[in-house]
Chain A
Amino acid sequence: MNSMDEVLLHEFIDILLVAVLILDLLIVATRKLKSSVWMNASQAALLGLMPLLLTGGELEFHVVLMSVAILVVRGLVIPFVLLRSVRSAPVSVELRSLVDQATAVSLAAVLFGLSFALGINLPLPAAIPHFSDLLVPTALTTIMIGLLLLVIRTQALMQVIGYLTIENGIFLIGLALVRETPVVVELGILLDVFVGVFVMGIVLFHISQAFEHLDTTELSSLRD
Protein backbone atom coordinates (compact mmCIF):
# COMPACT_ATOMS: atom_id res chain seq x y z
CA MET A 1 0.00 0.00 0.00
CA ASN A 2 1.47 3.35 -0.96
CA SER A 3 1.38 6.43 1.21
CA MET A 4 -1.59 8.11 -0.58
CA ASP A 5 -3.78 5.06 0.08
CA GLU A 6 -2.53 5.18 3.64
CA VAL A 7 -3.67 8.82 4.00
CA LEU A 8 -7.05 8.15 2.39
CA LEU A 9 -7.65 5.14 4.62
CA HIS A 10 -6.80 7.18 7.68
CA GLU A 11 -9.11 10.02 6.63
CA PHE A 12 -11.90 7.58 5.85
CA ILE A 13 -11.64 6.21 9.39
CA ASP A 14 -11.77 9.76 10.76
CA ILE A 15 -14.79 10.66 8.61
CA LEU A 16 -16.60 7.58 9.93
CA LEU A 17 -15.76 8.64 13.50
CA VAL A 18 -17.03 12.19 12.85
CA ALA A 19 -20.23 10.69 11.37
CA VAL A 20 -20.60 8.65 14.58
CA LEU A 21 -20.25 11.88 16.59
CA ILE A 22 -22.84 13.67 14.43
CA LEU A 23 -25.22 10.75 14.98
CA ASP A 24 -24.58 11.07 18.73
CA LEU A 25 -25.70 14.68 18.51
CA LEU A 26 -28.74 13.88 16.35
CA ILE A 27 -29.90 11.07 18.62
CA VAL A 28 -30.02 13.50 21.54
CA ALA A 29 -31.72 16.19 19.46
CA THR A 30 -34.37 14.05 17.75
CA ARG A 31 -37.91 13.92 19.07
CA LYS A 32 -39.10 10.86 17.22
CA LEU A 33 -38.78 7.34 18.55
CA LYS A 34 -38.48 5.67 15.19
CA SER A 35 -35.68 7.93 13.98
CA SER A 36 -33.68 7.40 17.16
CA VAL A 37 -33.90 3.63 16.61
CA TRP A 38 -32.62 4.02 13.04
CA MET A 39 -29.93 6.50 14.04
CA ASN A 40 -28.64 4.02 16.59
CA ALA A 41 -28.71 1.26 13.99
CA SER A 42 -26.81 3.33 11.42
CA GLN A 43 -24.26 4.27 14.06
CA ALA A 44 -23.73 0.59 14.79
CA ALA A 45 -23.50 -0.14 11.05
CA LEU A 46 -20.81 2.54 10.64
CA LEU A 47 -18.91 0.96 13.51
CA GLY A 48 -19.33 -2.40 11.81
CA LEU A 49 -17.15 -1.12 8.96
CA MET A 50 -14.41 -0.06 11.36
CA PRO A 51 -12.76 -3.47 11.96
CA LEU A 52 -12.22 -3.83 8.19
CA LEU A 53 -10.59 -0.40 7.97
CA LEU A 54 -8.49 -0.63 11.11
CA THR A 55 -6.77 -3.76 9.83
CA GLY A 56 -5.72 -1.76 6.77
CA GLY A 57 -7.83 -3.46 4.13
CA GLU A 58 -6.11 -6.82 4.54
CA LEU A 59 -9.08 -9.14 4.67
CA GLU A 60 -8.77 -11.64 7.47
CA PHE A 61 -11.53 -14.17 7.85
CA HIS A 62 -12.45 -13.45 11.43
CA VAL A 63 -12.47 -9.65 10.92
CA VAL A 64 -14.78 -9.94 7.88
CA LEU A 65 -17.03 -12.33 9.78
CA MET A 66 -17.24 -9.87 12.66
CA SER A 67 -18.09 -6.92 10.38
CA VAL A 68 -20.80 -8.81 8.55
CA ALA A 69 -22.26 -10.11 11.82
CA ILE A 70 -22.36 -6.57 13.27
CA LEU A 71 -23.91 -5.09 10.13
CA VAL A 72 -26.64 -7.71 10.06
CA VAL A 73 -27.39 -8.01 13.78
CA ARG A 74 -26.91 -4.42 14.95
CA GLY A 75 -27.88 -2.68 11.72
CA LEU A 76 -30.93 -4.72 10.71
CA VAL A 77 -32.16 -7.33 13.18
CA ILE A 78 -32.12 -5.26 16.37
CA PRO A 79 -33.90 -2.19 14.90
CA PHE A 80 -36.58 -4.47 13.44
CA VAL A 81 -37.08 -6.22 16.79
CA LEU A 82 -37.32 -2.85 18.55
CA LEU A 83 -39.69 -1.31 16.01
CA ARG A 84 -41.82 -4.44 16.20
CA SER A 85 -42.23 -4.02 19.92
CA VAL A 86 -43.05 -0.32 19.31
CA ARG A 87 -45.83 -1.36 16.97
CA SER A 88 -47.27 -3.99 19.27
CA ALA A 89 -47.10 -1.79 22.38
CA PRO A 90 -49.14 1.40 22.79
CA VAL A 91 -46.12 3.72 22.74
CA SER A 92 -46.49 7.26 21.48
CA VAL A 93 -44.17 8.11 18.57
CA GLU A 94 -43.23 11.38 20.26
CA LEU A 95 -40.41 10.97 22.75
CA ARG A 96 -40.97 11.74 26.39
CA SER A 97 -38.05 13.38 28.05
CA LEU A 98 -37.26 14.84 31.48
CA VAL A 99 -35.71 17.94 29.90
CA ASP A 100 -36.59 19.89 26.77
CA GLN A 101 -34.63 19.68 23.54
CA ALA A 102 -32.46 22.76 24.07
CA THR A 103 -31.38 21.55 27.54
CA ALA A 104 -30.70 18.06 26.22
CA VAL A 105 -28.49 19.45 23.46
CA SER A 106 -26.67 21.72 25.96
CA LEU A 107 -26.00 18.70 28.17
CA ALA A 108 -24.72 16.87 25.10
CA ALA A 109 -22.44 19.86 24.36
CA VAL A 110 -20.99 19.67 27.88
CA LEU A 111 -20.43 15.91 27.52
CA PHE A 112 -18.78 16.41 24.10
CA GLY A 113 -16.39 18.92 25.67
CA LEU A 114 -15.63 16.69 28.66
CA SER A 115 -15.04 13.58 26.58
CA PHE A 116 -12.75 15.40 24.16
CA ALA A 117 -10.79 17.02 26.98
CA LEU A 118 -10.37 13.58 28.56
CA GLY A 119 -9.99 11.51 25.41
CA ILE A 120 -7.35 13.65 23.72
CA ASN A 121 -5.16 13.14 26.78
CA LEU A 122 -5.67 9.38 26.87
CA PRO A 123 -3.74 8.03 23.90
CA LEU A 124 -3.83 4.29 23.40
CA PRO A 125 -0.58 2.41 22.69
CA ALA A 126 0.75 3.56 19.33
CA ALA A 127 1.45 -0.03 18.24
CA ILE A 128 -2.03 -0.33 16.73
CA PRO A 129 -2.00 0.14 12.95
CA HIS A 130 -4.12 2.96 11.43
CA PHE A 131 -4.97 4.22 14.85
CA SER A 132 -6.80 7.53 14.83
CA ASP A 133 -6.42 10.29 17.43
CA LEU A 134 -10.19 10.71 17.34
CA LEU A 135 -10.96 7.13 18.33
CA VAL A 136 -10.79 7.47 22.11
CA PRO A 137 -12.65 10.82 22.29
CA THR A 138 -15.39 9.43 20.02
CA ALA A 139 -15.73 6.29 22.11
CA LEU A 140 -15.94 8.30 25.34
CA THR A 141 -18.48 10.71 23.84
CA THR A 142 -20.66 7.85 22.63
CA ILE A 143 -20.59 6.20 26.06
CA MET A 144 -21.45 9.51 27.75
CA ILE A 145 -24.30 10.19 25.30
CA GLY A 146 -25.65 6.70 26.01
CA LEU A 147 -25.62 7.45 29.73
CA LEU A 148 -27.30 10.81 29.07
CA LEU A 149 -30.06 9.06 27.09
CA LEU A 150 -30.56 6.58 29.94
CA VAL A 151 -31.04 9.49 32.36
CA ILE A 152 -33.21 11.90 30.37
CA ARG A 153 -35.51 9.66 28.36
CA THR A 154 -38.44 8.26 30.29
CA GLN A 155 -39.67 5.65 27.86
CA ALA A 156 -38.55 2.09 28.43
CA LEU A 157 -37.69 1.65 24.76
CA MET A 158 -35.36 4.64 24.81
CA GLN A 159 -33.53 3.08 27.71
CA VAL A 160 -32.76 0.19 25.39
CA ILE A 161 -31.45 2.72 22.84
CA GLY A 162 -29.31 4.32 25.54
CA TYR A 163 -27.89 0.91 26.43
CA LEU A 164 -27.15 0.16 22.77
CA THR A 165 -25.42 3.53 22.38
CA ILE A 166 -23.16 2.74 25.34
CA GLU A 167 -22.47 -0.62 23.67
CA ASN A 168 -21.40 1.25 20.51
CA GLY A 169 -18.93 3.29 22.54
CA ILE A 170 -17.49 0.28 24.29
CA PHE A 171 -17.17 -1.52 20.96
CA LEU A 172 -15.13 1.43 19.65
CA ILE A 173 -12.62 1.11 22.47
CA GLY A 174 -12.55 -2.63 21.90
CA LEU A 175 -11.69 -2.00 18.25
CA ALA A 176 -8.21 -0.97 19.24
CA LEU A 177 -7.65 -4.60 20.16
CA VAL A 178 -9.40 -6.07 17.13
CA ARG A 179 -6.51 -8.28 16.01
CA GLU A 180 -5.81 -9.66 19.44
CA THR A 181 -9.38 -10.48 20.40
CA PRO A 182 -10.44 -14.01 19.45
CA VAL A 183 -13.47 -14.00 17.15
CA VAL A 184 -15.37 -16.19 19.60
CA VAL A 185 -15.23 -13.45 22.25
CA GLU A 186 -16.46 -10.76 19.82
CA LEU A 187 -19.29 -12.90 18.52
CA GLY A 188 -20.15 -13.86 22.09
CA ILE A 189 -20.52 -10.17 22.98
CA LEU A 190 -22.68 -9.61 19.91
CA LEU A 191 -24.85 -12.57 20.89
CA ASP A 192 -25.18 -11.17 24.41
CA VAL A 193 -26.32 -7.80 23.07
CA PHE A 194 -28.76 -9.47 20.72
CA VAL A 195 -30.26 -11.68 23.44
CA GLY A 196 -30.33 -8.67 25.77
CA VAL A 197 -32.35 -6.64 23.28
CA PHE A 198 -34.59 -9.61 22.62
CA VAL A 199 -35.31 -10.02 26.34
CA MET A 200 -35.88 -6.28 26.66
CA GLY A 201 -38.33 -6.41 23.76
CA ILE A 202 -40.26 -9.15 25.54
CA VAL A 203 -40.15 -7.23 28.82
CA LEU A 204 -41.41 -4.09 27.06
CA PHE A 205 -44.24 -6.11 25.60
CA HIS A 206 -45.22 -7.45 29.02
CA ILE A 207 -44.98 -4.03 30.65
CA SER A 208 -47.24 -2.62 27.97
CA GLN A 209 -49.74 -5.45 28.51
CA ALA A 210 -49.86 -4.80 32.24
CA PHE A 211 -49.63 -1.01 32.50
CA GLU A 212 -50.79 0.48 29.18
CA HIS A 213 -47.80 2.81 29.13
CA LEU A 214 -44.02 2.55 29.10
CA ASP A 215 -43.14 5.61 31.15
CA THR A 216 -40.31 4.64 33.49
CA THR A 217 -40.99 7.51 35.93
CA GLU A 218 -44.30 5.78 36.69
CA LEU A 219 -42.66 2.42 37.25
CA SER A 220 -40.62 3.39 40.29
CA SER A 221 -42.79 2.26 43.22
CA LEU A 222 -43.14 -1.44 43.98
CA ARG A 223 -46.30 -3.09 45.19
CA ASP A 224 -47.45 -6.64 45.36
Chain B
Amino acid sequence: MMAEFAWLAETLMQRTIQMFILIVLPPMFIGIIVKLKAVAAGRKGPPIWQPYLDLARLSRKGVVYSTATGQVFRWAPLLVVASSITAGLIVPMAGFTAPIHFSGDLIVFAYVLALGRLAIILASLDTGSAFEGMGASREASFAALAEPTMFLILVSLGLLGHADPHKFGVEWSLTGTLAQMEMITWAHYGPALLPLSFALFVLILLENSRVPFDDPTTHLELTMIHEVMILDHSGPDLALMEYGAAVKLLVFQSLLGRIIFPHHFESQWADVVTFVIKIGVLSVCVTAVEVGMARLKMNRIPGILLGAFILAALSVVVMLVEMGEFRGLPS
Protein backbone atom coordinates (compact mmCIF):
# COMPACT_ATOMS: atom_id res chain seq x y z
CA MET B 1 0.00 0.00 0.00
CA MET B 2 2.76 2.42 0.99
CA ALA B 3 4.78 1.48 -2.08
CA GLU B 4 1.81 2.18 -4.30
CA PHE B 5 1.25 5.52 -2.62
CA ALA B 6 4.91 6.48 -3.06
CA TRP B 7 4.74 5.50 -6.69
CA LEU B 8 1.61 7.58 -7.17
CA ALA B 9 3.17 10.60 -5.45
CA GLU B 10 6.32 10.31 -7.55
CA THR B 11 4.37 10.02 -10.80
CA LEU B 12 2.18 12.98 -9.84
CA MET B 13 5.32 14.96 -9.06
CA GLN B 14 6.89 14.09 -12.41
CA ARG B 15 3.72 14.97 -14.32
CA THR B 16 3.48 18.31 -12.53
CA ILE B 17 7.10 19.12 -13.31
CA GLN B 18 6.64 18.21 -16.98
CA MET B 19 3.46 20.33 -17.25
CA PHE B 20 5.30 23.22 -15.58
CA ILE B 21 8.21 22.93 -18.03
CA LEU B 22 5.91 22.57 -21.01
CA ILE B 23 3.51 25.38 -20.17
CA VAL B 24 5.55 27.97 -18.28
CA LEU B 25 9.10 27.80 -19.65
CA PRO B 26 8.77 28.06 -23.49
CA PRO B 27 8.64 31.89 -23.80
CA MET B 28 11.80 32.14 -21.69
CA PHE B 29 13.85 30.25 -24.30
CA ILE B 30 12.49 32.52 -27.05
CA GLY B 31 13.62 35.40 -24.82
CA ILE B 32 17.08 33.83 -24.50
CA ILE B 33 17.40 33.57 -28.28
CA VAL B 34 16.33 37.20 -28.80
CA LYS B 35 18.68 38.39 -26.06
CA LEU B 36 21.68 36.44 -27.38
CA LYS B 37 21.07 37.69 -30.91
CA ALA B 38 21.00 41.26 -29.67
CA VAL B 39 24.19 40.77 -27.66
CA ALA B 40 25.93 39.18 -30.67
CA ALA B 41 24.95 42.21 -32.74
CA GLY B 42 26.42 44.55 -30.10
CA ARG B 43 23.05 45.73 -28.74
CA LYS B 44 21.76 45.42 -25.22
CA GLY B 45 18.56 43.60 -26.13
CA PRO B 46 15.34 43.09 -24.19
CA PRO B 47 15.40 41.09 -20.91
CA ILE B 48 14.83 37.35 -21.33
CA TRP B 49 11.36 37.57 -19.72
CA GLN B 50 10.23 40.07 -22.37
CA PRO B 51 8.13 37.42 -24.24
CA TYR B 52 6.03 36.94 -21.06
CA LEU B 53 5.36 40.67 -20.91
CA ASP B 54 4.49 40.67 -24.61
CA LEU B 55 2.06 37.79 -24.15
CA ALA B 56 0.47 39.52 -21.14
CA ARG B 57 0.14 42.78 -23.06
CA LEU B 58 -1.40 41.05 -26.08
CA SER B 59 -3.89 39.06 -24.04
CA ARG B 60 -5.20 42.25 -22.37
CA LYS B 61 -6.04 43.75 -25.76
CA GLY B 62 -9.22 43.24 -27.76
CA VAL B 63 -9.51 41.13 -30.91
CA VAL B 64 -10.19 42.52 -34.37
CA TYR B 65 -11.70 40.14 -36.90
CA SER B 66 -11.79 41.00 -40.58
CA THR B 67 -15.25 40.62 -42.17
CA ALA B 68 -13.67 38.26 -44.70
CA THR B 69 -12.79 35.68 -42.03
CA GLY B 70 -14.96 32.83 -40.78
CA GLN B 71 -14.97 30.32 -37.95
CA VAL B 72 -11.69 28.67 -39.06
CA PHE B 73 -9.82 31.85 -38.33
CA ARG B 74 -11.27 32.06 -34.80
CA TRP B 75 -10.51 28.43 -33.89
CA ALA B 76 -7.00 28.22 -35.36
CA PRO B 77 -5.04 29.83 -32.47
CA LEU B 78 -6.57 27.43 -29.95
CA LEU B 79 -5.81 24.47 -32.21
CA VAL B 80 -2.21 25.60 -32.66
CA VAL B 81 -1.61 25.82 -28.90
CA ALA B 82 -3.50 22.57 -28.23
CA SER B 83 -1.49 20.65 -30.85
CA SER B 84 1.86 21.97 -29.57
CA ILE B 85 1.02 21.04 -25.97
CA THR B 86 -0.36 17.61 -26.91
CA ALA B 87 2.82 16.89 -28.87
CA GLY B 88 4.77 18.03 -25.82
CA LEU B 89 2.90 15.55 -23.63
CA ILE B 90 4.11 12.68 -25.86
CA VAL B 91 7.80 13.64 -25.55
CA PRO B 92 9.49 12.52 -22.34
CA MET B 93 11.05 15.61 -20.75
CA ALA B 94 13.66 15.82 -18.00
CA GLY B 95 14.20 12.06 -18.10
CA PHE B 96 10.64 11.17 -16.98
CA THR B 97 8.23 8.99 -18.90
CA ALA B 98 5.86 11.12 -20.93
CA PRO B 99 2.30 11.64 -19.60
CA ILE B 100 0.94 10.13 -22.82
CA HIS B 101 2.67 7.02 -24.10
CA PHE B 102 1.46 4.00 -25.99
CA SER B 103 2.70 1.77 -28.77
CA GLY B 104 2.75 3.89 -31.94
CA ASP B 105 2.71 7.33 -30.35
CA LEU B 106 5.55 8.30 -32.74
CA ILE B 107 3.00 8.69 -35.50
CA VAL B 108 0.56 10.59 -33.31
CA PHE B 109 3.41 12.96 -32.43
CA ALA B 110 4.09 13.72 -36.10
CA TYR B 111 0.45 14.18 -37.02
CA VAL B 112 -0.61 16.22 -33.98
CA LEU B 113 2.06 18.72 -35.00
CA ALA B 114 0.81 18.51 -38.59
CA LEU B 115 -2.70 19.30 -37.31
CA GLY B 116 -1.46 22.54 -35.75
CA ARG B 117 0.21 23.42 -39.02
CA LEU B 118 -3.00 22.68 -40.93
CA ALA B 119 -4.91 25.00 -38.60
CA ILE B 120 -2.48 27.87 -39.12
CA ILE B 121 -2.44 27.36 -42.90
CA LEU B 122 -6.25 27.26 -43.12
CA ALA B 123 -6.57 30.36 -40.92
CA SER B 124 -4.16 32.30 -43.09
CA LEU B 125 -6.02 31.24 -46.26
CA ASP B 126 -9.28 32.23 -44.56
CA THR B 127 -8.22 35.89 -44.46
CA GLY B 128 -8.27 36.02 -48.25
CA SER B 129 -5.09 38.12 -48.27
CA ALA B 130 -2.63 37.47 -51.10
CA PHE B 131 0.40 37.79 -48.80
CA GLU B 132 -0.97 35.27 -46.33
CA GLY B 133 -1.83 32.87 -49.14
CA MET B 134 1.77 33.08 -50.27
CA GLY B 135 3.03 32.35 -46.77
CA ALA B 136 0.64 29.41 -46.50
CA SER B 137 1.81 27.99 -49.81
CA ARG B 138 5.47 28.19 -48.72
CA GLU B 139 4.74 26.67 -45.34
CA ALA B 140 2.81 23.81 -46.94
CA SER B 141 5.46 23.06 -49.57
CA PHE B 142 8.38 23.09 -47.12
CA ALA B 143 6.37 21.01 -44.66
CA ALA B 144 5.70 18.46 -47.41
CA LEU B 145 9.43 18.32 -48.14
CA ALA B 146 10.32 17.96 -44.45
CA GLU B 147 7.78 15.25 -43.63
CA PRO B 148 9.77 12.28 -45.04
CA THR B 149 12.76 13.42 -42.98
CA MET B 150 10.61 13.62 -39.86
CA PHE B 151 9.31 10.12 -40.45
CA LEU B 152 12.72 8.60 -41.08
CA ILE B 153 13.96 10.17 -37.86
CA LEU B 154 10.99 8.67 -36.00
CA VAL B 155 11.56 5.29 -37.67
CA SER B 156 15.19 5.38 -36.62
CA LEU B 157 14.20 6.21 -33.03
CA GLY B 158 11.53 3.51 -33.14
CA LEU B 159 14.12 0.97 -34.27
CA LEU B 160 16.32 1.98 -31.37
CA GLY B 161 13.48 1.17 -28.97
CA HIS B 162 12.78 -1.98 -30.94
CA ALA B 163 16.39 -3.13 -30.49
CA ASP B 164 15.98 -3.45 -26.73
CA PRO B 165 12.24 -3.56 -26.03
CA HIS B 166 12.20 -5.49 -22.77
CA LYS B 167 13.58 -2.60 -20.77
CA PHE B 168 10.56 -0.36 -21.01
CA GLY B 169 8.00 -2.56 -22.67
CA VAL B 170 6.42 -0.08 -25.06
CA GLU B 171 7.55 -0.47 -28.65
CA TRP B 172 7.48 2.21 -31.35
CA SER B 173 6.97 4.89 -28.77
CA LEU B 174 8.96 8.05 -28.03
CA THR B 175 8.88 7.25 -24.33
CA GLY B 176 9.90 3.64 -24.95
CA THR B 177 12.91 4.81 -26.94
CA LEU B 178 14.02 7.97 -25.19
CA ALA B 179 13.40 6.91 -21.60
CA GLN B 180 15.59 3.85 -22.03
CA MET B 181 18.43 5.77 -23.66
CA GLU B 182 21.62 6.09 -21.63
CA MET B 183 25.02 7.49 -22.52
CA ILE B 184 25.98 3.89 -23.32
CA THR B 185 23.45 3.96 -26.17
CA TRP B 186 25.83 6.31 -27.95
CA ALA B 187 28.56 3.68 -27.65
CA HIS B 188 26.33 1.11 -29.36
CA TYR B 189 24.32 3.20 -31.81
CA GLY B 190 26.42 6.38 -32.09
CA PRO B 191 27.01 5.99 -35.83
CA ALA B 192 23.24 6.11 -36.39
CA LEU B 193 22.53 8.82 -33.81
CA LEU B 194 25.13 11.19 -35.28
CA PRO B 195 23.42 11.78 -38.66
CA LEU B 196 20.05 11.62 -36.89
CA SER B 197 21.01 14.53 -34.62
CA PHE B 198 22.11 16.63 -37.59
CA ALA B 199 18.90 15.90 -39.50
CA LEU B 200 16.78 16.68 -36.43
CA PHE B 201 18.59 19.98 -35.89
CA VAL B 202 17.84 21.02 -39.50
CA LEU B 203 14.24 19.98 -38.90
CA ILE B 204 14.06 22.09 -35.72
CA LEU B 205 15.15 25.15 -37.69
CA LEU B 206 12.60 24.47 -40.44
CA GLU B 207 9.63 23.46 -38.28
CA ASN B 208 10.02 26.50 -36.06
CA SER B 209 10.60 28.96 -38.89
CA ARG B 210 14.10 29.94 -37.85
CA VAL B 211 17.02 31.18 -39.95
CA PRO B 212 18.11 29.95 -42.57
CA PHE B 213 14.64 28.86 -43.66
CA ASP B 214 12.64 31.80 -42.39
CA ASP B 215 13.49 34.92 -40.42
CA PRO B 216 11.31 35.55 -37.35
CA THR B 217 12.37 39.20 -37.23
CA THR B 218 11.79 40.09 -40.86
CA HIS B 219 9.59 43.07 -41.70
CA LEU B 220 8.94 42.46 -45.39
CA GLU B 221 5.82 40.40 -46.11
CA LEU B 222 7.27 39.02 -49.34
CA THR B 223 10.03 37.15 -47.51
CA MET B 224 8.08 35.91 -44.51
CA ILE B 225 6.73 32.42 -43.97
CA HIS B 226 5.49 32.02 -40.41
CA GLU B 227 5.15 35.72 -39.59
CA VAL B 228 3.06 36.47 -42.67
CA MET B 229 0.55 33.78 -41.76
CA ILE B 230 -0.23 35.39 -38.41
CA LEU B 231 -0.34 38.98 -39.73
CA ASP B 232 -4.13 39.23 -39.39
CA HIS B 233 -4.28 37.83 -35.87
CA SER B 234 -4.52 40.36 -33.09
CA GLY B 235 -4.73 40.53 -29.32
CA PRO B 236 -5.17 37.21 -27.46
CA ASP B 237 -5.27 35.31 -30.77
CA LEU B 238 -1.82 36.59 -31.69
CA ALA B 239 -0.63 35.79 -28.16
CA LEU B 240 -1.85 32.20 -28.59
CA MET B 241 -0.11 31.88 -31.97
CA GLU B 242 3.20 33.17 -30.56
CA TYR B 243 2.85 30.98 -27.48
CA GLY B 244 2.07 27.89 -29.59
CA ALA B 245 5.22 28.53 -31.66
CA ALA B 246 7.30 28.86 -28.48
CA VAL B 247 5.94 25.57 -27.09
CA LYS B 248 6.65 23.81 -30.40
CA LEU B 249 10.27 24.99 -30.30
CA LEU B 250 10.66 23.65 -26.76
CA VAL B 251 9.11 20.31 -27.73
CA PHE B 252 11.55 19.83 -30.61
CA GLN B 253 14.50 20.98 -28.54
CA SER B 254 13.67 18.58 -25.72
CA LEU B 255 13.52 15.74 -28.26
CA LEU B 256 17.00 16.58 -29.59
CA GLY B 257 18.36 17.34 -26.12
CA ARG B 258 17.30 13.90 -24.91
CA ILE B 259 19.01 12.22 -27.87
CA ILE B 260 22.27 14.14 -27.63
CA PHE B 261 22.75 13.85 -23.87
CA PRO B 262 20.62 10.96 -22.59
CA HIS B 263 22.16 10.75 -19.11
CA HIS B 264 19.99 9.95 -16.09
CA PHE B 265 21.06 11.40 -12.76
CA GLU B 266 20.35 9.89 -9.35
CA SER B 267 18.13 12.74 -8.27
CA GLN B 268 15.25 13.85 -10.47
CA TRP B 269 15.92 17.50 -9.63
CA ALA B 270 19.37 17.12 -11.15
CA ASP B 271 17.59 15.76 -14.22
CA VAL B 272 15.33 18.80 -14.36
CA VAL B 273 18.26 21.22 -14.05
CA THR B 274 20.20 19.34 -16.76
CA PHE B 275 17.12 19.46 -18.96
CA VAL B 276 16.85 23.24 -18.67
CA ILE B 277 20.60 23.57 -19.36
CA LYS B 278 20.29 21.30 -22.42
CA ILE B 279 17.44 23.38 -23.86
CA GLY B 280 19.45 26.52 -23.13
CA VAL B 281 22.47 25.11 -24.98
CA LEU B 282 20.30 24.15 -27.94
CA SER B 283 18.83 27.68 -27.95
CA VAL B 284 22.40 28.97 -28.13
CA CYS B 285 23.01 26.65 -31.12
CA VAL B 286 19.89 28.00 -32.85
CA THR B 287 21.10 31.54 -32.15
CA ALA B 288 24.57 30.71 -33.45
CA VAL B 289 23.02 29.63 -36.77
CA GLU B 290 20.94 32.82 -36.88
CA VAL B 291 23.94 35.01 -36.15
CA GLY B 292 26.26 33.12 -38.49
CA MET B 293 24.19 32.97 -41.63
CA ALA B 294 21.51 34.83 -43.54
CA ARG B 295 18.18 33.50 -44.69
CA LEU B 296 18.56 31.23 -47.73
CA LYS B 297 17.08 31.96 -51.12
CA MET B 298 13.77 30.08 -51.42
CA ASN B 299 15.01 27.90 -54.28
CA ARG B 300 17.95 26.61 -52.22
CA ILE B 301 15.77 25.31 -49.39
CA PRO B 302 14.72 22.04 -51.12
CA GLY B 303 18.41 21.16 -51.58
CA ILE B 304 19.08 21.57 -47.85
CA LEU B 305 15.96 19.59 -46.92
CA LEU B 306 17.03 16.84 -49.30
CA GLY B 307 20.39 16.78 -47.53
CA ALA B 308 18.60 16.36 -44.19
CA PHE B 309 16.53 13.59 -45.75
CA ILE B 310 19.68 11.74 -46.85
CA LEU B 311 21.10 12.05 -43.32
CA ALA B 312 17.89 10.67 -41.82
CA ALA B 313 17.83 7.79 -44.33
CA LEU B 314 21.50 7.14 -43.56
CA SER B 315 20.61 6.99 -39.88
CA VAL B 316 17.94 4.35 -40.50
CA VAL B 317 20.29 2.22 -42.63
CA VAL B 318 23.17 2.52 -40.16
CA MET B 319 20.76 1.69 -37.30
CA LEU B 320 19.78 -1.50 -39.12
CA VAL B 321 23.45 -2.32 -39.77
CA GLU B 322 24.32 -1.74 -36.09
CA MET B 323 21.44 -3.98 -35.08
CA GLY B 324 23.04 -6.67 -37.25
CA GLU B 325 20.13 -6.90 -39.70
CA PHE B 326 22.55 -7.40 -42.56
CA ARG B 327 24.73 -10.04 -40.94
CA GLY B 328 24.74 -13.47 -42.43
CA LEU B 329 23.78 -12.48 -45.94
CA PRO B 330 24.91 -14.91 -48.64
CA SER B 331 28.42 -13.96 -49.67
> Which residues of A come within 8 Å of B, CB atoms?
7-8, 11, 14-15, 17-19, 21-22, 25, 29, 100-102, 104-106, 108-109, 112-113, 116, 120-121, 123, 133-134
What's the count of A-B pairs with C-beta under 8 Å?
72
Chain B residues near A17 (CB-CB < 8 A): 191
Distance of A19 Cα from B195 Cα, bound (Å): 8
Interface size class of B (residues with CB under 8 A): 20 to 34
Q: Does B80 contact A (CB under 8 A)?
A: no
Distance from B317 Cβ to chain A, minimum over Cβ atoms (Å): 6
Distance from B287 Cβ to chain A, minimum over Cβ atoms (Å): 22
Contact of B188 among A7, A21, A120 (CB under 8 A): A7
Distance of A22 Cα from B310 Cα, bound (Å): 9
Contact of A21 among B309, B314, B329 (CB under 8 A): B314
Distance of A108 Cα from B303 Cα, bound (Å): 11
| Chain B 220-260 interface mask (CB, 8 Å, partner A; 1/0) | 00000000000000000000000000000000000000000
14 pairs, CB–CB < 8 Å, chain A vs chain B: A11-B187, A11-B191, A15-B194, A18-B318, A29-B303, A29-B307, A100-B299, A102-B299, A102-B302, A102-B306, A105-B307, A112-B313, A113-B313, A134-B321
Q: Does B198 contact A (CB under 8 A)?
A: yes
> Which residues of B come within 8 Å of A, CB atoms?
187-188, 190-192, 194-195, 198, 299-300, 302-304, 306-307, 309-311, 313-314, 317-318, 321-322, 326-327, 329, 331
Q: Is A25 a contact of B191 with CB atoms below 8 Å? A: no
Chain A residues near B327 (CB-CB < 8 A): 133
Chain B residues near A25 (CB-CB < 8 A): 307, 310-311
Distance of A100 Cα from B326 Cα, bound (Å): 35
Chain A residues near B322 (CB-CB < 8 A): 14
Distance from A173 Cβ to chain B, minimum over Cβ atoms (Å): 16
For A116, give the chain B residue with the smallest CB separation.
Answer: B317
Chain A residues near B299 (CB-CB < 8 A): 100, 102
Distance of A25 Cα from B331 Cα, bound (Å): 29
For B327, give the chain A residue with the smallest CB separation.
Answer: A133
Grouping DSSP codes into helix (H, G, I), strand (E, B) and loop, the A interface class, with mixed when no group exceeds half, is helix
For B331, give the chain A residue with the smallest CB separation.
Answer: A123
Contact of B191 among A7, A14, A100, A116 (CB under 8 A): A14
Chain A residues near B331 (CB-CB < 8 A): 123
Distance of A134 Cα from B194 Cα, bound (Å): 14
Q: Is A11 a contact of B314 with CB atoms below 8 Å? A: no
Q: Is B329 a contact of A120 with CB atoms below 8 Å? A: yes
Chain A residues near B191 (CB-CB < 8 A): 11, 14-15, 17-18, 134
Q: Is B311 a contact of A22 with CB atoms below 8 Å? A: yes
Given contacts A19-B194, A22-B311, is CB(A105)–CB(B306) below 8 Å?
A: yes
Q: Is B321 a contact of A109 with CB atoms below 8 Å? A: no
Chain B residues near A113 (CB-CB < 8 A): 313
Q: Is B329 a contact of A8 with CB atoms below 8 Å? A: no
Q: Is B303 a contact of A105 with CB atoms below 8 Å? A: yes
Given contacts A14-B318, A102-B303, is CB(A109)–CB(B188) below 8 Å?
A: no
Given contacts A101-B300, A101-B303, A105-B303, is CB(A18)–CB(B194) below 8 Å?
A: yes
Chain B residues near A120 (CB-CB < 8 A): 321, 326, 329
Name the 9 nearest CB pairs between A and B, nearest first. A14-B191, A102-B303, A101-B303, A18-B191, A105-B306, A133-B321, A102-B302, A105-B303, A15-B191
Chain B residues near A100 (CB-CB < 8 A): 299, 303
Distance of A25 Cα from B304 Cα, bound (Å): 11
Distance of A21 Cα from B303 Cα, bound (Å): 17
For A13, give the chain B residue with the smallest CB separation.
Answer: B191
Distance of A120 Cα from B328 Cα, bound (Å): 11
For B314, give the chain A residue with the smallest CB separation.
Answer: A21
Given contacts A7-B188, A15-B194, A18-B195, is CB(A109)–CB(B311) below 8 Å?
A: no
Given contacts A17-B191, A102-B299, A120-B329, is CB(A109)–CB(B317) below 8 Å?
A: no
Distance from A99 Cβ to chain B, minimum over Cβ atoms (Å): 11
Q: Is A105 a contact of B310 with CB atoms below 8 Å? A: yes
Q: Is A15 a contact of B190 with CB atoms below 8 Å? A: yes
Given contacts A101-B303, A116-B317, is CB(A108)–CB(B310) below 8 Å?
A: yes
Chain A residues near B198 (CB-CB < 8 A): 22
For A22, give the chain B residue with the smallest CB separation.
Answer: B195
Distance of A85 Cα from B309 Cα, bound (Å): 35
Distance from A131 Cβ to chain B, minimum over Cβ atoms (Å): 12
For A122, give the chain B residue with the smallest CB separation.
Answer: B331
Q: Is B329 a contact of A121 with CB atoms below 8 Å? A: yes
Distance of A12 Cα from B302 Cα, bound (Å): 32
